[in-house]
């Protein structure tokens, strides 16, 4: 949900071999490089969940990158969900839920 033109927000849940391969750190670096705010965390079901806020083109690029992931990952599926949480400052790695 954006409050300004050109702003976008998405939440994703990524399945596959995405834990124990540096996925969260990779997401944090990639999101920061794209100027996005948000967060990333592992889930107990072995998936990774992330929230991205920022320029619509940058969010779209981050979603594209999530389909590939870092070199050791094997991404099986990326679920793109609507994001209703407000944007945060910066990008955080959150605890597992």
- In the prediction, which pLDDT does 7 show? 87
Given 13, 29, 41, 42, the catalytic residue:
42
Given 11, 17, 24, 68, the catalytic residue:
24
State the pTM of this model: 0.91
**pLDDT tens-digit readout, 4-59:** 668 899 999 999 999 999 999 999 999 999 999 999 999 999 999 999 999 999 99
Q: For residues 64-83, give the mean pLDDT.
A: 96
Round the CA-based radius of gyration of the chain to a whole number and report it. 12
- In the prediction, which pLDDT does 4 show? 67
pLDDT confidence tier of residue 88, bands split at 50, 70 and 90: confident
- What are the angstrom distances between the C-alpha of 34 and each of 17, 27, 45, 95? 24, 11, 28, 23
Note if 24 is an active site residue.
yes
Note if 41 is an active site residue.
no
């Amino acid at each position: 949900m954006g409050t300004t033109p050109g702003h976008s927000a998405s939440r994703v849940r990524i399945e596959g071999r995405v834990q124990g391969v540096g996925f969260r750190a990779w997401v944090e670096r990639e999101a920061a490089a794209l100027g996005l705010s948000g967060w990333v965390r592992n889930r107990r079901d072995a998936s990774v969940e992330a929230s991205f806020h920022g320029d619509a083109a940058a969010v779209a690029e981050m979603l594209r990158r999530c389909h590939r992931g870092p070199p050791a990952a094997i991404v099986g599926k990326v679920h793109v969900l609507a994001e209703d949480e407000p944007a945060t400052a910066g990008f955080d790695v959150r605890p597992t839920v």
